[in-house]
Amino acid sequence: MRSDAQKIVSSGGFQTDILFTDLSGNTETVKGAATLHSTIFDAETGLPAKGKNGHVTVYGGDFKTLDIYGNEKDINEIAMANWSISFEWIDGKRWKFKAEQVTPSYSFDLVTIELGDAK
């Protein structure tokens, strides 16, 4: 099942290059699924006005350089809080966020990260 999950996230047709930068400035690019969401809508038109957040899902085993598990080496203890995460959206614009909430899946070795404002 892990290999299926890895294939879907890393090479299933919807993957993109996601750049991770840890708190020390070290970087690694991993393929994964990324989504972008409008968080503020115009009350009159209902159209997106401004404000974005997103999510990324990556296969934990694809990290070769960055140590996402910290000292614990435990899939349930992902040490990615406040890491910088960026990806290019379908419109060609590069979006940059901070990791806010990290949700690992031990069964599939997938890591889903809720992204917030990169200020």
- 3-state SS, residue 22: coil
CATH of the domain at 33: 2.40.10
> Where do we find the tokens 């599939």?
108
Which run of H or of E encompasses 11? helix 2-11
Number of folded domains in the chain? 1
- What's the domain range around 47? 2-116
Q: Which residues contact 72 (CB under 8 A, 6 or more apart)?
A: 79
Cβ atoms of residues 104 and 76 within 8 Å = yes
pLDDT in tens, the chain (119 residues): 678 888 888 888 889 999 999 999 999 999 999 998 766 767 778 777 666 788 999 998 899 998 887 665 555 568 888 899 999 988 899 999 999 888 888 788 889 999 987 65
pTM: 0.82
pLDDT at 81: 84
Q: Which amino acid is at 36?
A: L
* pLDDT given for residue 105 in this prediction: 83
Question: Is residue 23 helix, strand or coil?
Answer: coil
